[in-house]
Amino acid sequence: MLINGQWAKDFHPVQGTDEDGGFVREDSSFRNWITADGTCGPSGKSGFVAEPNRYHLYVALICPWASRTLMVRKLKGLEDVISVTILEPRLTEKVWRFGGNPLSLPGTQADPLYKADYLYELYLRAKPDYTGQITVPVLWDKQQETIVNNESSDIIRMLNNGFGAMANNNIDLYPEPWRSEIDTVNDRLYEQFNNGVYRAGFATTQLAYDNAVNDVFKSLAYIEQRLDGHDYLVGDRLTEADIRAFVTLIRFDMAYYGLFKTNLKRVQDYPTIHAYVKRIYDIPGMAETVNPAHIKAGYYSIRALNPSGIVPMGPTMPW
């Protein structure tokens, strides 16, 4: 991580622990918003006006948080408005590295803006005295040469409703009548499921691990129950709640079940959830955001969990 703009600590997945030895995730640092008229959004101190070809997304396909921004960008038809760079999925001592060289995994790319070697170099461009972890996604403003936002939950909201006529507004992933229910589902699943798998994998005590695994499988039961007789988690169409659930579900059998030892059951052992994940994956464009080779290579590169560095053979998709 960086402390006052200096590289001070090589990557380790456990950013902090609570009193029970549980994994604690660091809050995102850049929380400004893109809006149609450039006014400030719900967080941050500055507003950024929506314009074509001004913004750039840095993502890694291993990362569920980054992948949900790619899903929303695709669904909203913003591919020609917001450019993207795919980083190496394999984590290094300095975390996220750019690709595009002979040793890189296929599908990764070099930094098109500054020819940086590592993503932390862009954090320093945005804030030379930055202190904190280096995370994806990063939404970058090419005009002001700074990070707009590195919190995926903010980014998917601004992609959904911040680009006006530049976006496909036949799709609304956060419709007004369902916002309260979507927020309830998101809140129910985030800490116990989306982050719950990480709490299990990175637990430093047996108690913390047991609590996390219990939360994960209670959450899968909750998802199965909500889908009983329904195609989606809220209402009768795809919403933000489905995007946020999908990115964890699609990685579950590939990585969390084995490496994170959330191994009581697989997603494919839940017939309703299994069908739901396949239904979302089959939406045009969604398969492009899921790369099993990147997901497995990335997670199994975490030496704290897999000292050998060997990526096991075996199933990828839960079907």
| pLDDT at 26 (0 to 100) | 64
| pLDDT at 44 (0 to 100) | 77
pTM summary value: 0.94
Instruction: Give CA angle at 50 (25, 115), nearest 5°.
Output: 65
| pLDDT at 7 (0 to 100) | 86
CA distance 26 to 41: 22
CA distance 255 to 277: 16
Bigger pLDDT: 1 or 236?
236
| pLDDT at 299 (0 to 100) | 96
Tell me the average pLDDT of the chain: 93
Give the contacts of 169 (CB within 8 A, at least 6 positions apart): none
Q: What is the pLDDT of residues 102-152, one digit of tens each?
A: 989 999 999 999 999 999 999 999 999 999 999 999 999 999 999 999 999
| pLDDT at 319 (0 to 100) | 63
Name which of 20-34, 73-87, 167-181, 231-245 the model is least confident about: 20-34
Q: Which residues are catalytic?
A: 63, 198
From-to residues of CATH 1.20.1050.10 in the chain: 176-299
Residue 78, both tokens: 């913003």
Nearest by Cα to 242 from 151, 181, 167: 181
From-to residues of CATH 3.40.30.10 in the chain: 2-166
- The arithmetic mean of pLDDT across residues 60-76, rounded, is 98
Residue 74 scores a pLDDT above 70: yes
CA distance 92 to 301: 8
CA distance 319 to 307: 29
Residues linked to residue 132 through DSSP beta bridges, in sequence order: 2
Q: What's the burial of 97, exposed, middle or buried (CB within 10 Å: 0-12/13-18/19+)? A: buried
Q: Which CATH number fits domain 2-166: 3.40.109.10, 3.90.1150.50, 3.40.1160.10, 3.40.30.10?
A: 3.40.30.10
Residues linked to residue 33 through DSSP beta bridges, in sequence order: 47
Q: What's the burial of 52, exposed, middle or buried (CB within 10 Å: 0-12/13-18/19+)? A: exposed
Residue 199 identity (one-letter amino acid): R
CATH fold, domain 176-299, is Glutathione S-transferase Yfyf (Class Pi); Chain A, domain 2 (1.20.1050)
- The arithmetic mean of pLDDT across residues 14-43, rounded, is 76
- The arithmetic mean of pLDDT across residues 299-308, rounded, is 92
Nearest by Cα to 300 from 263, 266, 255: 255
| pLDDT at 312 (0 to 100) | 83
Cis peptide preceding 89, ω within 30 of 0: no
- The arithmetic mean of pLDDT across residues 306-317, rounded, is 78
| pLDDT at 1 (0 to 100) | 82
> What is the end-to-end Cα distance of the chain in Å, rounded?
38
Q: What is the pLDDT of residues 142-180, one digit of tens each?
A: 999 999 999 999 999 999 999 999 999 999 999 999 999
